[in-house]
Amino acid sequence: MLKFTKDHEWLRVDGDVATVGITAYAQEKLGDLVFVELPSLGTKLDKGAMAATVESVKAASEVYAPVGGEVIAVNDKLTDEPGIVNAEPTAGGWIFKLKISNTAELVSLLDEAAYNALVRE
Protein backbone atom coordinates (compact mmCIF):
# COMPACT_ATOMS: atom_id res chain seq x y z
CA MET A 1 0.00 0.00 0.00
CA LEU A 2 1.48 3.34 -1.09
CA LYS A 3 0.43 6.46 0.85
CA PHE A 4 1.45 10.12 0.61
CA THR A 5 1.69 13.25 2.78
CA LYS A 6 0.91 16.83 1.87
CA ASP A 7 4.63 17.50 2.52
CA HIS A 8 5.54 15.24 -0.44
CA GLU A 9 6.73 12.15 1.38
CA TRP A 10 5.61 8.71 0.26
CA LEU A 11 5.46 5.58 2.34
CA ARG A 12 5.04 1.96 1.39
CA VAL A 13 3.43 0.01 4.22
CA ASP A 14 4.16 -3.66 4.77
CA GLY A 15 2.61 -4.88 8.02
CA ASP A 16 3.88 -2.52 10.72
CA VAL A 17 6.89 -1.28 8.72
CA ALA A 18 6.82 1.83 6.54
CA THR A 19 9.48 2.55 3.93
CA VAL A 20 9.71 6.34 3.46
CA GLY A 21 11.05 8.60 0.73
CA ILE A 22 10.22 11.79 -1.14
CA THR A 23 7.87 11.83 -4.10
CA ALA A 24 8.84 12.20 -7.74
CA TYR A 25 7.16 15.63 -7.64
CA ALA A 26 9.35 16.73 -4.69
CA GLN A 27 12.61 15.56 -6.25
CA GLU A 28 11.71 17.30 -9.55
CA LYS A 29 11.12 20.59 -7.70
CA LEU A 30 14.37 20.25 -5.75
CA GLY A 31 16.51 19.27 -8.72
CA ASP A 32 19.61 17.09 -8.55
CA LEU A 33 20.29 16.05 -4.97
CA VAL A 34 23.84 16.48 -3.72
CA PHE A 35 23.42 15.40 -0.08
CA VAL A 36 21.07 13.33 2.07
CA GLU A 37 21.27 13.48 5.87
CA LEU A 38 19.85 10.21 7.18
CA PRO A 39 18.23 9.69 10.59
CA SER A 40 20.02 7.57 13.18
CA LEU A 41 18.96 3.97 13.70
CA GLY A 42 16.79 3.61 16.78
CA THR A 43 15.53 7.20 16.67
CA LYS A 44 11.93 7.44 17.83
CA LEU A 45 9.93 9.92 15.76
CA ASP A 46 6.49 11.38 16.29
CA LYS A 47 4.24 11.87 13.27
CA GLY A 48 5.32 15.10 11.55
CA ALA A 49 8.77 15.23 13.20
CA MET A 50 11.77 16.11 11.07
CA ALA A 51 13.48 12.83 10.19
CA ALA A 52 16.02 13.61 7.46
CA THR A 53 17.28 16.38 5.19
CA VAL A 54 17.78 16.37 1.44
CA GLU A 55 19.88 19.03 -0.28
CA SER A 56 20.10 19.99 -3.92
CA VAL A 57 22.02 22.72 -5.68
CA LYS A 58 18.80 24.80 -5.38
CA ALA A 59 17.66 24.21 -1.81
CA ALA A 60 17.59 22.07 1.30
CA SER A 61 14.38 20.44 2.43
CA GLU A 62 13.33 18.48 5.48
CA VAL A 63 11.82 15.03 5.25
CA TYR A 64 9.17 14.45 7.91
CA ALA A 65 7.98 11.25 9.53
CA PRO A 66 4.60 10.52 7.91
CA VAL A 67 3.65 8.40 10.94
CA GLY A 68 5.21 7.90 14.35
CA GLY A 69 7.65 5.08 14.94
CA GLU A 70 11.23 3.93 15.38
CA VAL A 71 13.84 4.14 12.62
CA ILE A 72 14.83 0.53 11.92
CA ALA A 73 16.78 1.00 8.66
CA VAL A 74 18.37 3.74 6.59
CA ASN A 75 19.42 3.72 2.95
CA ASP A 76 23.21 4.04 3.39
CA LYS A 77 23.71 4.10 -0.40
CA LEU A 78 22.39 7.67 -0.40
CA THR A 79 25.41 8.89 1.57
CA ASP A 80 27.65 8.35 -1.48
CA GLU A 81 24.97 8.47 -4.18
CA PRO A 82 22.22 10.97 -3.28
CA GLY A 83 21.18 11.06 -6.94
CA ILE A 84 19.49 7.66 -6.48
CA VAL A 85 16.59 9.66 -5.02
CA ASN A 86 16.28 11.54 -8.33
CA ALA A 87 16.61 8.41 -10.45
CA GLU A 88 14.33 6.13 -8.40
CA PRO A 89 12.31 8.26 -5.95
CA THR A 90 9.76 5.56 -5.05
CA ALA A 91 12.04 2.54 -5.38
CA GLY A 92 15.81 2.48 -4.71
CA GLY A 93 15.70 6.10 -3.51
CA TRP A 94 13.92 5.30 -0.25
CA ILE A 95 15.42 7.17 2.71
CA PHE A 96 14.47 5.28 5.90
CA LYS A 97 12.22 2.59 7.33
CA LEU A 98 10.04 3.00 10.40
CA LYS A 99 8.48 0.42 12.69
CA ILE A 100 5.08 2.07 12.97
CA SER A 101 4.00 2.75 16.56
CA ASN A 102 0.35 3.54 15.78
CA THR A 103 -1.12 2.21 12.54
CA ALA A 104 -4.26 4.34 13.11
CA GLU A 105 -2.16 7.33 11.93
CA LEU A 106 -2.18 5.85 8.42
CA VAL A 107 -5.82 6.87 7.88
CA SER A 108 -4.88 10.57 7.72
CA LEU A 109 -2.54 10.02 4.75
CA LEU A 110 -3.41 10.51 1.09
CA ASP A 111 -3.88 7.78 -1.48
CA GLU A 112 -2.24 8.19 -4.89
CA ALA A 113 -5.30 9.81 -6.53
CA ALA A 114 -5.65 12.39 -3.74
CA TYR A 115 -1.92 13.18 -3.82
CA ASN A 116 -1.95 13.61 -7.61
CA ALA A 117 -4.92 15.98 -7.28
CA LEU A 118 -2.97 17.96 -4.64
CA VAL A 119 0.09 18.50 -6.85
CA ARG A 120 -2.05 19.47 -9.85
CA GLU A 121 -3.61 22.38 -7.90
pLDDT in tens, 52-64: 999 999 899 999 9
Determine, yes or no, domain membership for 89. Answer: yes
Query: Is residue 117 a part of any domain in this protein?
Result: no
pLDDT given for residue 55 in this prediction: 97
Q: Compute φ and ψ for 16, nearest 5 degrees.
A: -110, 25
Residues 6+ apart with CB under 8 A from 74: 38, 39, 41, 95, 96, 97
Spatial contact of 45 and 51, defined as CB atoms under 8 Å apart: yes
State the average pLDDT over residues 6-18.
96
Please indicate, yes or no, if residue 15 is contained in any of the structural domains: yes
Q: What's the rounded Cα separation, in Å, for the pair 29 and 31?
A: 6
Q: Give the residue from 44, 87, 88 showing the smallest Cα distance to 65.
A: 44
What pLDDT was estimated at residue 121?
82
Distances (CA, A) of 102 to 14, 45, 80, 106, 115: 14, 12, 33, 8, 22
Q: Which CATH number does the domain housing residue 6 bear?
A: 2.40.50.100
Average pLDDT on 48-54 reads 97
Q: Which domain holds residue 58?
A: 2-101
Query: Into how many domains does the chain fold?
Result: 1
**How far is it, in rounded angstroms, from Cα 19 to Cα 2?**
9
Determine phi and psi for 5, rounding to 5 degrees. -110, 165
pLDDT band at 43 (very low <50, low <70, confident <90, very high): very high
